[in-house]
Each structure stands twice: as structure tokens, then as C-alpha cells.
């Protein structure tokens, strides 16, 4: 299925603005803020960021990003990075918050981390990381920035120098996301003064993130040379370029750092960087749908790769071609590729998803529904299959069934925009206006459009019988959203 898409009115904020490394801690002597050593809130609140506060900032930041950045709400890719990220996280130490991994449609190479366990990955990274191990090495590095609280410590250190600095810094980060121009100016004024003195310390943070990242990588069963290989390729690729990708701006790659990555890798048990079909399929999906190459160039890319592909690499490259054919309405060509792929690997989520598109385009709604229900028996609650099934149910006109399913889905995945947008569509087609307003209201809230979200709920409340259960629910949500908006504004001030 094609994911929820929203029109972006303004372009990306340079991601280096809120990349933690640029703000990373210059103070190595800061105490460790383990859960026991956290000062009481109220006594040192002005200079210490509690985990709770970090989570609030993280949540607010994510809402602003959803409203201002082209995030990729693709069920398969979201699932892919969630699974990979969770695997790495399970081997990390000092994890104090839940983590959210998300994708930004941007062809530059970058990854960044923010409070509350938020890690963003540019789609461009998929293009340049040739193996899952290489992508995992970047993710581990970002995870380490967060578990070591580099950003938080930097802000705490600044706050010790000046009571206003922490609020000003975080506030300007928030601002820079919401209104890029104002934000850049604000953050420059705040940090420019001691930028020069930060650079060395930033390197020490980077070193620590490299060191801890490689440990996570090894414990999760990956080849520890992945980081070295990726660094080396980046350095070669961008050696003579005048505009290096954001990742290199925040992560300079002097020879010493590349050598260090190799030396560290040698200290771990040797593992092979195994071919991952899931990574190859995710990568093909990014190249076919989110690379800005356009259909003919990306088709050409797949054809060139196929010429030198090993036998086990052919399936994922063909899958990429099939997606391009699907998107160009060349259904016969797509089917020719997808049929044998699905036959050989009937539980594969990527193939099931593409085949759903194929069936729906050919109006074979029931075939798609039956296939997806069967697949769900093996993987109950799988998000990719659930969304595909409900998409097919809506096409078939089974709105009530879809609405029931989607209520459960959005309850379990409250920040999944695809779920809410599908629920909105199902309510709309079922001529239930207040239900559609409610679901759309939740999308607005996820994007920090509080006024619109509240207005939707007010309208919904007027549309249902006075004193009904629906009305009580809508009114309660209005109160909640009003409070959330107040808390959100407080964070920005
Ligand atoms: Zn870094």
C-alpha cells in the first residue's frame, strides 16, 4: 500500500541545527546521571534535565517534526527500522527511555538523535549503506549518543554557567523546527559564542559514541567492521566535494577516526556481514519510492545492479523494479515479477504488501482480503498486514469491519498516522462525520496543530446526541488536548 502523505509547505531545517553532536557536552567531568543520582525535582530543576522532562521535549519535538518535515510514514520501512533499532537497543546499556526510530525523506546522508529516545534516519542513508551492518553501525552510534546523554549533559553544563541557557537552547531548537529561519538565528546567537571551544569536546563525545556504538553492534551479533567500512566509503566518496552531506558535517572523518574504527573492530570476535534480505528489500523500497530519482532513473539503477548481482541478491532488486511498475500502472509487468517472488516466500511482508496493491488495482478486493487474513493468522497484530487488510476492507466497502479493526490498531499504535488516516477514510466513506472528525483531530494533535485538533472535537461533540457516550468521550478529549497544548507551549517558552 502507499502510505499517508501530507503536503509539506516548507522545506527541511538543516538537520545539523538539532543534531546532538553539535551541542554535545564539553564537560567530561560532569557526574553520571543514573536514576539514583538524579537530583530531586524542585531543588535543582533549573540546571538538571529530568528524564521526564527529556521525554516531554522529545514528544514535542516529534510533533513539530511531523508538521514540518517530510517524514516517511511507510508501514514496511517503519517496521524495518523499528525491528533493527529494537534489536540493537536490547544490547545497549543505560537505556532510560523508550526509543522511536523514524525516517525522513531526504537524499542526504544523515542520522540524528534527540531527547526521549528519538532517532531520525534520512532515506539517503539507505542508498549509501550497502549492508544492514553498515546501517546498524550508524544507528548504534546514535543510540550511544542518547544512552550517554550527550545532548542533555551539554545543556546541563550550559545551564550551570547561566540559568537561562538550558531553556534558551531547548527553546531555540523547538523554534528552529517550527520556523526554520527564526530558529537558525536564535540558535546561532545562543551557541556561536563558545562554538570554537566546543569542537574538541564534540570529538570526545563522538569518540565515546563510536566506542559504545561498536560494542552495541558486536553484542547484537553484527560485524564490527561495518562502521569502519561505512566511514571509509564516506570519506572516499566525499573527499573532493565542496558540499559534504550533513552526517559528515557533524561527524568529520579524519584518517585517525577511520583507523580507530578499525582498531576497535579488531578487538571484537570476527563476524561476517551477512546478506540481509529484509535490508535489501527495504533499500529497494527506498530507492524505488523515496529516492527522488524518478521512475526511469531508478529502474535503470536496478537494471545495472542486476547485471552483477549474486543469485541471492536478485529477488530484492526485482522487487524494486516491481514497485516502479506498480506505481506506473504497468500491472502486467509487476505481476510477472511478484508472482514467483510471493510463491517462493509466501509470508514475506514486502511481497504481500505489493501483491495487495496489485490485487486492489485489478479490483480483486476479496482475493487480497483472504490472503491478508491468512497471513495474519501466522503473524497476529502485525502492523504491516493489519494496515494492508484494512486498506483492502475499505476498498471492498466493508467499512464497519475496518472501523472496528482500526480502533484497535490506533489504540495499540496511537502515534501511527497511517492508522488514523485510514480510520478517517473508513468513517468518511461510512458517512460518519463525527468519527471522521475525531480521527482527523488525532492527526492534527500528532502534528501539534492543537487548535485544529480541538476544533475538530468540538464539531464532533455537536454532531452526536446530547449526553451520549460519544459526546462524553469527545468532551473528555477536548479537556485533555487543551491541557496538552498548555504543556506544549510551556516547553517552547
Ligand atoms: Zn555522532
Phi first, then psi: what are they for 418, rounded to 5°?
A: -60, -40
Distance 60 CA to ligand 1 centre (A): 22
- Is residue 156 classed as helix, strand or coil in its secondary structure? helix
Rounded to whole angstroms, how far apart are CA atoms 19 and 247? 9
CB 461 within 8 A of CB 477: no
DSSP notation for 383-431: HHHHHHHHHHHHHHT-HHHHHHHHHHHHHHSTT-HHHHHHHHHHHHHTT
Distance 476 CA to ligand 1 centre (A): 42
Which cell numbers in the block locate residue 364?
480483486
Strand partners, 200: none
pTM score: 0.85
Which residues neighbour ligand 1 (ion) by CB within 5 Å?
Answer: 21, 206, 209
Distance 292 CA to ligand 1 centre (A): 26
Tell me 32's DSSP state. Answer: P
Which cell numbers in the block locate residue 105?
525523506
- Among the listed residues 74, 156, 210, 442, the single catalytic one is 210
Distance 174 CA to ligand 1 centre (A): 20
Distance 19 CA to ligand 1 centre (A): 8
CB 218 within 8 A of CB 269: yes
CB 217 within 8 A of CB 144: no
Distance 455 CA to ligand 1 centre (A): 41
- Is residue 433 classed as helix, strand or coil in its secondary structure? helix
- Is residue 140 classed as helix, strand or coil in its secondary structure? helix
Q: Is 273 a catalytic residue?
A: no
Distance 392 CA to ligand 1 centre (A): 42
Report, in angstroms and rounded to the nearest whole number, the Rg of the chain calculated over CA atoms. 24
Distance 435 CA to ligand 1 centre (A): 44
Q: Is 40 a catalytic residue?
A: no
Rounded to whole angstroms, how far apart are CA atoms 15 and 20? 10
Sheet holding 100-104, edge to edge: 100-104, 118-122, 111-114
CB 157 within 8 A of CB 202: no
pLDDT at 182: 42
Rounded to whole angstroms, how far apart are CA atoms 162 and 459? 46
pLDDT at 453: 98
- Among the listed residues 54, 56, 142, 156, the single catalytic one is 142
Distance 111 CA to ligand 1 centre (A): 9
Distance 189 CA to ligand 1 centre (A): 23
Which cell numbers in the block locate residue 330?
504497468
Per-residue pLDDT of the chain (493 residues; tens, 9 = 90+): 776 655 433 322 223 223 333 333 222 222 332 333 333 333 344 567 788 888 998 898 889 888 888 899 999 999 999 999 999 999 999 999 999 999 988 888 888 888 899 999 989 899 889 999 999 999 999 999 899 988 878 777 776 776 666 666 666 666 555 444 444 343 333 343 333 333 334 678 888 999 999 999 999 999 999 888 888 888 887 777 777 666 676 677 777 888 888 999 999 988 888 899 999 999 999 999 998 888 999 999 999 999 999 999 999 999 999 999 999 999 999 999 999 999 999 999 999 999 999 999 999 999 999 999 999 999 999 999 999 999 999 999 999 999 999 999 999 999 999 999 999 999 999 999 999 999 999 999 999 999 999 999 999 999 999 999 999 999 999 999 999 999 988 886 6
**Taken in order 374, 402, 3, 59, is the CA torsion positive or negative?**
negative
pLDDT at 165: 61
Distance 142 CA to ligand 1 centre (A): 6
Q: Classify 48 in phi/psi space as left (phi over 0), alpha (psi -120 to 50) or beta.
A: beta
Residue with cell 508472482: 339
pLDDT at 489: 85
pLDDT at 166: 65
pLDDT at 408: 97
**Nearest-10 crossing angle of helices 132-147, 150-161:** 30
**CA neighbor of 393 nearest in space, from 413, 415, 373:** 373
**CA neighbor of 413 nearest in space, from 96, 119, 79:** 79
Distance 77 CA to ligand 1 centre (A): 23
Amino acid at each position: 500500500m502507499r502510505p499517508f502523505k501530507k503536503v509539506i509547505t516548507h522545506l527541511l531545517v538543516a538537520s545539523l541545527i538539532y543534531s546532538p553532536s553539535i551541542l554535545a557536552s564539553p564537560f567530561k567531568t560532569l557526574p553520571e546521571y543514573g536514576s539514583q543520582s538524579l537530583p530531586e525535582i524542585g531543588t535543582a530543576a533549573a540546571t538538571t534535565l529530568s528524564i521526564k522532562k527529556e521525554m516531554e521535549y522529545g514528544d514535542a519535538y516529534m510533533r513539530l517534526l511531523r508538521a514540518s518535515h517530510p517524514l516517511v510514514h511507510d508501514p514496511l520501512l517503519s517496521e524495518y527500522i523499528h525491528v533493527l533499532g529494537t534489536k540493537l537497543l536490547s544490547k545497549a546499556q543505560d537505556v532510560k527511555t523508550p526509543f522511536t526510530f523514524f525516517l525522513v525523506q531526504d537524499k542526504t546522508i544523515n542520522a540524528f538523535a534527540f531527547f526521549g529516545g528519538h532517532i531520525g534516519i534520512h532515506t539517503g542513508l539507505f542508498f549509501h549503506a550497502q549492508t544492514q551492518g553498515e546501517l546498524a553501525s550508524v544507528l548504534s552510534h546514535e543510540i550511544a549518543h542518547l544512552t550517554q546523554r550527550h545532548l542533555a549533559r551539554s545543556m546541563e553544563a550550559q545551564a550551570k554557567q547561566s540559568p537561562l541557557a538550558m531553556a534558551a537552547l531547548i527553546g531555540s531548537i523547538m523554534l528552529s523546527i517550527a520556523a526554520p529561519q527564526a530558529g537558525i538565528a536564535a540558535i546561532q546567537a545562543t551557541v556561536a559564542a563558545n562554538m570554537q571551544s566546543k569542537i574538541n569536546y564534540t570529538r570526545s563525545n563522538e569518540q565515546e559514541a563510536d566506542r559504545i556504538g561498536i560494542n552495541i553492534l558486536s553484542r547484537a551479533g553484527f560485524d564490527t567492521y561495518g562502521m569502519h567500512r561505512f566511514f571509509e566509503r564516506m570519506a572516499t566518496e566525499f573527499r573532493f566535494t565542496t558540499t559534504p552531506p550533513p552526517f559528515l558535517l557533524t561527524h568529520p572523518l579524519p584518517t585517525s577516526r577511520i583507523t580507530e574504527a578499525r582498531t576497535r573492530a579488531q578487538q571484537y570476535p570476527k563476524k561476517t556481514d551477512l546478506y540481509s534480505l529484509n535490508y535489501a528489500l527495504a533499500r529497494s523500497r527506498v530507492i524505488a519510492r523515496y529516492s527522488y530519482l524518478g521512475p526511469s532513473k531508478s529502474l535503470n539503477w536496478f537494471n545495472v545492479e542486476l547485471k552483477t548481482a549474486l543469485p541471492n541478491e536478485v529477488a530484492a532488486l526485482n522487487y524494486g523494479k516491481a514497485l516502479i511498475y506498480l506505481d506506473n500502472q504497468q500491472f502486467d509487468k509487476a505481476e510477472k515479477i511478484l508472482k514467483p517472488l510471493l510463491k517462493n516466500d509466501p509470508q514475506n511482508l514486502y511481497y504481500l504488501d505489493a501483491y495487495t496493491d496489485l490485487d486492489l488495482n485489478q479490483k480483486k478486493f476479496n482475493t487480497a482480503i483472504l490472503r491478508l487474513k491468512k497471513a495474519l493468522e501466522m503473524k497476529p497484530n502485525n502492523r504491516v498486514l493489519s494496515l494492508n487488510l484494512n486498506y483492502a476492507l475499505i476498498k471492498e466497502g466493508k467499512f464497519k469491519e475496518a472501523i472496528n479493526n482500526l480502533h484497535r490498531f490506533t489504540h495499540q499504535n496511537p502515534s501511527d498516522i497511517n492508522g488514523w488516516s485510514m480510520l478517517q477514510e473508513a468513517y468518511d466513506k461510512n458517512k460518519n462525520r463525527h468519527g471522521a472528525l475525531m480521527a482527523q483531530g488525532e492527526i492534527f494533535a500528532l502534528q501539534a496543530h492543537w487548535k485544529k485538533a480541538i476544533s475538530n472535537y468540538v464539531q464532533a461533540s455537536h454532531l452526536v446526541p446530547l449526553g451520549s457516550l460519544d459526546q462524553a468521550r469527545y468532551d473528555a478529549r477536548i479537556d485533555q488536548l487543551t491541557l496538552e497544548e498548555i504543556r506544549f507551549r510551556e516547553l517552547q517558552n
